[in-house]
Each structure stands twice: as C-alpha cells, then as structure tokens.
C-alpha cells in the first residue's frame, strides 16, 4: 500500500464553503490537520466550525492581497478550490477564478507559504468552441490564465484539473495524467486526490487531469508522480 507522507498541518481552503471543500474538510481533519476554510458569510463559518474547522471570513470577489494576509497568516498550505459557479455572471469568473488566484498567490509569497494546490478544470488550455456561451468562454479564459500564473510562481504548487464534477458518492478510484479523456468524477474523489497530493513531495510543480478511473487514489497519485 502507498503510504501518506508527512505534510503541512494547517491548511487554508479558499472557497471553503464550496462542494469540493466540504468533502475535503473531513479528510484533512481525519489526518489531524487544522483546517481553515475561507468563507464569505458568518453562517457558513458557524456551520463549518461546528464540524471542527477554524473558518475565517473573506469575500473573494472584493478582496485584494491585503485582505488575504490576515486570514492566511499562520497556515502551512493553501488549497484554492473557489469558483465563480454556473450563475451566468461573466464578471465573477474574472474576480473569483482569476482575481482570487492572483491575490492568493501574492499573499502566499508575502507570507512565506510554500505549498499551494489549485483546483482548475480539464481542457482549459484549449480554446472553447465557437458556439459556447460567453460565460463558459470567460470561465475557460480565467482558469487558463490563473493556471499559468500558478506555474510561473515560485511556490510549491500542484494543479489538478478535474473533468465534469458529480455529486455522486466517491468511488475511491481515479486516474491522473495529461490529456486524458474527460470521464466525469465525483467531487468526493477530487477531494481525496487533493488530500493525497498535499503531503507528497513528488507532486510538487506538477499538473494533472483528474478523471474517473480504476486505480485507488493513493496508487493513482503515486503512479502519476513517478
């Protein structure tokens, strides 16, 4: 069996009230990590605190680098799992998916936080089809540029690009690689991959598509990183 390496113990999640983040939270808590979800509303903070997290308030749409500094202070790693969502709002793709990433990267650099995991999306380096909606085009553009900013940073980054996300129960089996066929994957399995890559030195400065597959999560990560 592939063993989990020692890794960061205090982990912030940007987009901490999102669906992937909520599935990631119990996995990190089970590994005795301190989890700091960044959320917009006090009621979200109260809910996550009751689950064992230590949430902090941040409105990604309006936050600049200076706003990230106090909420990221003291953490060892950051998971960027925020997204503008399927709300038809083009501007939110720029402020959340792109602006949020850029501000988070800058704050990590200023605070000396090295470990960074970005949840992106499969296929964003390819131009969207001509008949795709303006919202989808804005989303793809934002993710493409934000991923480029991550790769150009000096942080110890990993970029995960999942295929279409499902709310199904996690299977515990995935595939990681480059230019994979976009087989849908449950949000729970994506969360398990995040938890698996966070402590693994072999996953630093690596980018993978993440899709539904047949390998257990830890084995799939180990094979991709070898």
* pLDDT one-digit tens code per residue, 93-136: 889 999 999 999 999 999 999 999 999 999 999 988 888 888 88
| Average pLDDT rounded to a whole number, residues 85-97 | 79
Given pLDDT bands bounded at 50, 70 and 90, which one contains residue 15?
Answer: very high
Structural contact between residues 75 and 64, judged by C-beta atoms closer than 8 angstroms: no
Q: Is the pLDDT of residue 4 over 70?
A: no
Give residue 156's domain range: 10-225
pLDDT-based confidence at 89, cuts 50/70/90?
confident
**pLDDT exceeds 70 at position 87:** no
Q: Confidence class of residue 1 from pLDDT cuts 50, 70 and 90?
A: very low
Assess if residue 216 is contained within a domain: yes
Query: Among 7-11, 70-74, 150-154, where is mean pLDDT lowest?
Result: 7-11
pLDDT for 88 equals 66
**Is residue 2, in this structure, part of any structural domain at all?**
no
Question: SS3 sequence, the chain?
Answer: CCCCCCCCCEEEEECCCCHHHHHHHHHHHHCCCEEEEEECCHHHHHHHHHCCCCCEECCCCCCCHHHHHHHHCCCCEEEECCCCCCCCCHHHHHHHHHHHHHHHHHHHHHHCCCEEEEECCCCCCCCCCCCCCHHHHHHHHHHHHHHHHHHHCCCEEEEEEECCEECCCCCCEEEEECCCCCCCEEHHHHHHHHHHHCCCHHHCCEEEEEEECCEEHHHHHHHHHC
Asked whether residue 1 is domain-assigned, the answer is no
In a domain, 74, yes or no: yes
Mean pLDDT of all residues belonging to the chain: 94
> What is the gyration radius of the CA atoms in the chain, in angstroms?
16
Q: Kindly indicate the confidence band of residue 86, based on its pLDDT and cuts at 50, 70 and 90.
A: low
Shortest CA distance to 94 belongs to which of 127, 121, 61? 61
Q: How many CA atoms lie within 13 A of 130 on its CB side?
A: 0
Mean pLDDT of 39-56: 98
Residue 2 has pLDDT above 50, yes or no: no
- Answer whether residue 3 is part of any domain: no
Q: How far is CA 48 from CA 22, 43, 52, 54, in A?
A: 8, 9, 7, 8
User: How far does Cα 103 stand from its chain's mean position?
Assistant: 15
Total number of domains in the chain: 1
32 occurs within a structural domain: yes
Per the document, the length of the chain is 226
In this prediction, residue 59 has a pLDDT band, given cuts at 50, 70 and 90, of very high
Residue 4 in domain: no
Q: List Cβ neighbours of 72 (8 Å cut-off, separation of 6 or more).
A: 12, 78, 104, 107, 108, 111, 113
What pLDDT was estimated at residue 92? 84
pLDDT tens digits for 148-172? 999 999 999 999 999 999 999 999 9
Is 153 among the domain residues?
Answer: yes
Instruction: Tell me how far apart the alpha carbons of residues 102 and 108 are, in angstroms, rounded to a whole number.
Output: 10
The predicted model gives 26-41 an average pLDDT of 97
CATH number of the domain at 214, please.
Answer: 3.40.50.720
């Amino acid at each position: 069996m592939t063993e989990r390496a020692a890794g960061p113990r205090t982990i912030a999640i940007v987009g901490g009230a999102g669906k992937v983040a909520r599935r990631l939270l119990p996995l990190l808590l089970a590994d005795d990590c301190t989890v700091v979800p960044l959320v917009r509303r006090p009621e979200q903070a109260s809910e996550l605190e009751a689950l064992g997290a230590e949430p902090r308030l941040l409105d990604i749409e309006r936050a600049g680098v200076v706003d990230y500094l106090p909420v990221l202070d003291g953490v060892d790693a950051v998971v960027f799992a925020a997204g503008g969502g399927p709300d038809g709002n083009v501007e939110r793709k720029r402020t959340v998916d792109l602006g949020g990433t850029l501000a988070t990267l800058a704050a990590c650099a200023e605070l000396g936080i090295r470990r960074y995991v970005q949840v992106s999306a499969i296929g964003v380096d390819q131009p969207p089809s001509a008949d795709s909606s303006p919202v989808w085009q804005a989303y793809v553009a934002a993710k493409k540029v934000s991923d480029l900013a991550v790769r150009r940073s000096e942080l110890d980054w990993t970029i995960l690009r999942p295929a279409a996300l499902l709310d199904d129960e996690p299977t515990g089996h995935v595939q990681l690689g480059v230019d994979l066929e976009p087989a849908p994957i449950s949000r729970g399995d994506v969360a398990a991959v995040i938890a698996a890559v966070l402590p693994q030195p072999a996953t630093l400065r690596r980018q993978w598509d993440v899709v539904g597959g047949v390998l257990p999560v830890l084995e799939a990560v180990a094979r991709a990183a070898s």
